[in-house]
């Protein structure tokens, strides 16, 4: 069985998607349609911008979504997954690629999500940190012991968690993690505390847009971030997507569940090869490939 997986924020690079634009007429059409929907030429930033321009949340999220989804659509008949999943933002790419949401509606939601998250970050100065070398429970217990907002936000692979919260709480947690034997507890260059209670204002803002968007049943089960389980029911998919902004990304559990459900090959579609590395750390035997182009 085949799984297609889609990366989240952090995988972007200048030049992403340009070969698709140049070589696939349908891809060029979709990129140009995206420029119209967004109201600015995101392709200029993706293909020839600076790292700084590409790093803005309102640019990064639509850029990664576009690269992933247009690549999936360019595969045509070769895109025949038995299951799909995406890491954080990548869940939107997975839903559009699997036909649960149209390209236009998916892009509009991703753009709204990025802007709402940017706003929430500005309201609450906050950050995230990667913790390496501790088990999940130790990380969770240390987060609970801190006076302030800090939670486990991304379960990326065994021994690699990302925590998310207010600046002071993250600083305190990092010290405690190192004292507990973490190999590293390192602040990340992100705009705010994604997948934590500090994203509540963004969740409220996005909820209306998700509820109003027309979802249909995907062509295959979508394993969703909030509980790592497979879904095909549009109403359940919507509810999980709304919960996703303040809930942790359970990527380790998604990979374990897909393997338990019979997947024998993973293909990562989009920029970078982050998920390929994480999947290999969950299961060294897993067959994984990354595609950033045709």
| Element spanning 85, H or E | strand 83-86
Q: Cβ of 8: how many Cβ atoms within 10 Å?
A: 27
Residues contacting 80, CB < 8 A, separation 6+: 2
Q: Is the pLDDT of residue 56 over 90?
A: no
The catalytic residue among 74, 88, 93, 290 is 88
Average pLDDT over residues 25-33: 98
Tokens read off for 223? 């394993």
pLDDT level of residue 28 (50, 70, 90 thresholds) = very high
**What is the reported pLDDT for 261?**
98
Q: Are 4 and 278 in contact (CB under 8 A)?
A: no
Distance CA 242, CA 258 (A): 22
pLDDT band at residue 291 under the 50/70/90 scheme = very high
Percent of the chain exceeding pLDDT 90 equals 93
- Residue recorded with tokens 């393997």: 259
Is 195 among the catalytic positions?
yes
Average model confidence (pLDDT) across the chain? 96
Among 67, 87, 166, 195, which one carries the catalytic annotation? 195
Length of the chain: 294
Question: What would the mean pLDDT of 270-277 be, rounded to a whole number?
Answer: 96
Query: In the predicted model, is pLDDT for residue 162 greater than 90?
Result: yes
CA angle centred on 89, ends 229 and 108, rounded to 5°: 115
Global pTM reads: 0.96
Q: Is 265 tagged catalytic?
A: no
Q: What angle do CA 56, 9, 142 make, to 5 degrees?
A: 110
Distance CA 116, CA 153 (A): 18
pLDDT (average), residues 24-48: 97
Name the nearest CA neighbour of 62 among 38, 97, 86, 96: 38
pLDDT digits (tens, 9 = 90+) for 241-258: 999 999 999 999 999 999
- Quote the radius of gyration of the chain (alpha carbons, Å): 18
In percent, the amount of the chain with pLDDT more than 70 equals 100
pLDDT tens per residue across span 179-203: 999 999 999 978 899 999 999 999 9
Pick from 246, 267, 266: nearest CA to 164: 246
17-29: average pLDDT: 97
What distance in Å separates the CA atoms of residue 171 and residue 186, rounded to the nearest whole number? 9
CATH number for the domain formed by residue range(s) 125-187: 3.30.70.250
User: Distance between CA atoms of 85 and 89, rounded to whole angstroms?
Assistant: 10
Give the domain ranges of the chain: 2-122+197-291, 125-187
pLDDT (0 to 100) of residue 195? 97
Matching residue, tokens 């997975």: 94
Structural tokens at position 213: 């968007």
Beta bridge partners of 86: 6
DSSP percent split of the chain into helix, strand, coil, nearest 5: 50, 15, 30
Angle at alpha carbon of residue 216, lines to 215 and 220, rounded to 5°:
120
* Residues 139-144, mean pLDDT to the nearest whole number: 98
pLDDT at 214 over 90: yes
Q: Does domain 2-122+197-291 have CATH number 2.60.40.420?
A: no
Structure tokens at 122: 């500005």
Using pLDDT thresholds of 50, 70 and 90, give the confidence band for residue 57.
confident
């Amino acid at each position: 069985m085949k799984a297609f997986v889609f990366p989240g924020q952090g995988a972007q690079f200048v030049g992403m998607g340009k070969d698709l634009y140049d070589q696939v007429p349908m891809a060029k059409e979709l990129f140009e349609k995206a420029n119209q929907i967004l109201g600015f030429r995101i392709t200029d930033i993706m293909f020839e911008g600076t790292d700084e321009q590409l790093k803005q949340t309102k640019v990064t999220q639509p850029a990664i979504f576009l690269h992933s989804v247009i690549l999936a659509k360019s595969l045509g008949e070769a895109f025949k997954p038995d299951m799909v999943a995406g890491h954080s933002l990548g869940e939107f790419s997975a839903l559009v690629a699997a036909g649960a949401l149209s390209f236009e509606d998916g892009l509009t939601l991703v753009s709204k999500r990025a802007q709402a998250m940017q706003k929430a970050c500005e309201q609450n100065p906050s950050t995230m940190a990667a913790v390496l070398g501790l088990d999940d429970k130790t990380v969770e217990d240390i987060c609970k012991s801190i006076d302030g907002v800090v939670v486990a936000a991304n379960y990326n692979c065994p021994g690699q968690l990302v925590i998310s919260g207010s600046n002071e709480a993250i600083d305190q947690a990092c010290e405690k993690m190192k004292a507990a034997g973490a190999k590293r507890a390192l602040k990340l260059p992100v705009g705010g505390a994604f997948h934590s209670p500090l994203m509540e204002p963004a969740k409220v803002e996005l909820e209306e847009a998700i509820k109003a968007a027309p979802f249909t049943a995907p062509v295959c089960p979508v394993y969703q971030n909030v509980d790592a389980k497979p879904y095909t029911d549009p109403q359940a998919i919507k509810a999980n997507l709304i919960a996703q902004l303040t809930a942790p990304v359970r990527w380790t559990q998604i990979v374990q569940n897909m393997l338990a459900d019979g997947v024998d090959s993973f293909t990562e579609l989009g920029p970078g090869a982050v998920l390929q590395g994480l999947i290999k750390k969950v299961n060294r035997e897993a067959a994984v490939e990354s595609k950033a182009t045709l």
